A and B are shown apart, each in its own frame.
Chain A
Amino acid sequence: MHFPVTAGLLKRTVGHVKAVDGVSFTIKRGQILGVVGESGSGKSTLGNCVLGLLDYTDGEIYYEGQELKSIPKKAMKRLRNRLQAISQDPFSSMDPRMDIAAIVTEGLSIHDMVKGKKEKEEIAARMLEMVGINPAFMHRFPHEFSGGQRQRISIARTLALQPNFIVCDEIVSALDVSIQAQIVNLMEKLQQELNLTYIFIGHDLSVVRHISDGIAVMYLGKIVELSPAKELYQNPLHPYTKSLISAAPIPDPAVDKKRERILLQGEIPSPMHPPEGCRFCTRCPYAAAVCHEAEPEFTEVSPGHFTACHFVDKTGFHPGKGA
């Protein structure tokens, strides 16, 4: 997905941001794919593309065997309720003048799924119940709820449309630790009960690892490593993944103080001017000449475990090779 960058009064295009660039992956039904990365890594853009909300520049996205772009507009509208999203800040996506019953069922009217008022209230009650909000509160307004409760309401609104695929974009990042655990548990319960498929986007590696089956690590618009969730911590291959894991402290001083620390230099470069060669080469402690010249290929190292690094082969990570 490339975005034009405009400047001046006439909004002439002065360049392109390759927000997501050459990314490939698959998700099986009922699986949770975690996506981690820092700001500007393209993880939200990826989520929006997958939902068909952005007109991606190049490439193909297949949902249940159908290429999204090939689906006519009308058919896409009918499909839309199956592909849903939950965002970080539910408050900004709720009309402050609508009560939560209306908010939860608004999508149903848009999709002509339900017509009668009574039926809608029944659905609202059922959905709120499912996410742990007392249905007796269904005629209250968003401002009367706390951040955690609003996130539950936003989940209820999504579920009302009976989706089977949900992009969860940083849905617990703004919440306190104790509330975060409640929402993560709720998302896990719903996934199991309704056999949902998630893309779970986050920057907290421990939360993403906890909920996901597989994890994609993104850096400057590319997936640099894709791995089964458990394997990523035990056997990270890409130097960026290693540093990300090292930067995430483990809440147990007895364990954390013994860990190897890799401190990266600098910050993520501007996606408008990504480095030549490997995108991580400007911050990589192992970067050699080849990394500045050629882009590493995204290859499968062991079953289900992919990475893009010049120094990784089937036997593991060998810095300095070929330098």
Chain B
Amino acid sequence: MEENILEVKNLRTHFIGKNGKQVRAVDGLSYSVKRGEFTAIIGESGSGKTVGALSLLRLIPYPPGLILGGEVMFDGRDLMQLSDAEMEKLRGLEISMIFQEPAAALNPVLTIGEQITEAITTHIKMGKQEAWEKAIALLRMVDIPNPEERVKQYPFEFSGGMQQRAMIAMAMSCEPKLLICDEPTTALDVTVQAQVLEQIDHLRKQTGTTVILITHNLGVVARHADSVKIMYGGKIVEEGPTEAIFADPHHPYTVGLIRAVPRLDRESGKLFAIEGEPPDMSSVPVNSCAFAARCPYADERCTSERPALTAVEGKHRCACFHMERVIETREEAAADA
């Protein structure tokens, strides 16, 4: 289980904005994911979490976007070196992705069954009848009631939660080694969100598929993820086992994020608000910590040198020059509360 299925090294994806400015959406992203693990990537809008995932699959539209460099080692191959045809074969077969808006990802004029069988027969040699049977089995696997009838229906006949289940069924149809879920439940109601996430977790345990969950919801991460990566300004600022990150956050952004969310189980007092706005990655200097402009600990070093991820304890790593002070202040604040 200790083997890495995915190793991303210094991935850089930039976009050219309308005003000609270069936006460094993903700016030196490096991380690894163990086989069979449930990893969460947390970040706010513009942190590069979605662009990072799309870059793995080389799905960045050019222009305006361009993957400038980096290495993506997936199961022994560098995805950046594959031909377009090889990449095409790999998507959906070895790496699948599901998105936030299932309604936008499904084709409205094809039945659910037609879409799932298409996903299967594109990658696997299988007769039409057999693929249809498999589509029904997949829908049953994701708990869609009455799958024999449902498979003949069109997406509009499915509710939002069922559409997302159908997407999961499609993504899992070729038993991929890696499933990337980009905010899969953001558009769903709370009780349906819980159902869909349980479903993903359950399938992972059954099939051994590795899951990367991209989200902004800290609660979802606490509940499901084995490990967490926090993205800010196009790179990872802190990562580690979920328990360690929540119990002992080291980066001022992580600390702020955890304290900004009110708790259901107790009084939260005044919420901690991180001042300012997320950075504009076309104007942050290259040699600067992207969080410096909002950080209460920032000094000259933070704006002239980019902190690298350094080990805190075991697999817990953080990119900040002022970790000791962050922890001191955090502990003082906890003592006051």
Chain A residues near B (Cβ < 8 Å): 38-39, 146, 148-149, 176-182, 184-185, 188, 203-207, 209-210, 230, 233, 243-257, 261, 263-264, 267-268
Known: A254-B246, A256-B223. A210 touches B268 (CB 8 A): yes
Q: Check B203 for interface membership: any CB of A closer than 8 A.
A: no
In the bound assembly, the distance between CA atoms of A255 and B247 in angstroms comes to: 11
Contact B221 A254 (CB under 8 A): no
Contact of B243 among A180, A182, A185, A253 (CB under 8 A): A253
Contact of B222 among A203, A210, A252 (CB under 8 A): A252
Contact of B191 among A148, A204, A264 (CB under 8 A): A264
Contact B189 A210 (CB under 8 A): no
Contact B273 A182 (CB under 8 A): yes
Taking the closest CB of chain A, its distance from the CB of B133, in whole angstroms, is 25
Taking the closest CB of chain A, its distance from the CB of B196, in whole angstroms, is 11
In the bound assembly, the distance between CA atoms of A178 and B255 in angstroms comes to: 11
Contact A180 B260 (CB under 8 A): yes
Taking the closest CB of chain A, its distance from the CB of B171, in whole angstroms, is 21
Contact A267 B161 (CB under 8 A): yes
Known: A206-B262, A249-B219. A181 touches B274 (CB 8 A): yes
Contact B263 A250 (CB under 8 A): yes
Q: Range of interface residues on chain B?
A: 35 or more
In the bound assembly, the distance between CA atoms of A8 and B62 in angstroms comes to: 45
Contact of A253 among B159, B160, B242, B270 (CB under 8 A): B242
Taking the closest CB of chain B, its distance from the CB of A70, in whole angstroms, is 37
Taking the closest CB of chain A, its distance from the CB of B163, in whole angstroms, is 11
Contact A38 B191 (CB under 8 A): yes
Known: A254-B246, A268-B189. A146 touches B268 (CB 8 A): no
Contact A178 B44 (CB under 8 A): yes
Contact B273 A185 (CB under 8 A): yes
Contact of B219 among A148, A233, A250 (CB under 8 A): A250
In the bound assembly, the distance between CA atoms of A177 and B217 in angstroms comes to: 8
Taking the closest CB of chain A, its distance from the CB of B232, in whole angstroms, is 10
Contact B265 A250 (CB under 8 A): yes
Residues on A with beta carbons closer than 8 Å to the beta carbon of B216: 176-177
Contact A178 B260 (CB under 8 A): yes
- B255-286 contacts to A, CB under 8 A, are 256-258, 260-265, 267-268, 270-275, 277-278
Residues on B with beta carbons closer than 8 Å to the beta carbon of A251: 218-219, 221-222, 246, 258, 261, 263
Contact of A210 among B159, B198, B218, B262 (CB under 8 A): B262
Q: Mark B234-258, 1 if CB is under 8 A from A, else 0.
A: 0000000011001100000000111
Taking the closest CB of chain A, its distance from the CB of B2, in whole angstroms, is 22
Contact B190 A176 (CB under 8 A): no
Contact of A38 among B44, B189, B263 (CB under 8 A): B189
Known: A247-B191, A263-B194. 13 other contacts (CB 8 A): A38-B192, A148-B277, A176-B278, A178-B257, A203-B189, A203-B190, A206-B263, A209-B262, A233-B264, A233-B265, A249-B223, A256-B222, A267-B189
Known: A38-B191, A176-B44, A267-B161. A181 touches B242 (CB 8 A): no
In the bound assembly, the distance between CA atoms of A233 and B266 in angstroms comes to: 9
| Cβ-closest chain B residue relative to A207 | B262
In the bound assembly, the distance between CA atoms of A248 and B189 in angstroms comes to: 11
- Residue in B221, B246, B265, B268 whose Cβ sees the most chain A Cβ within 10 Å: B265
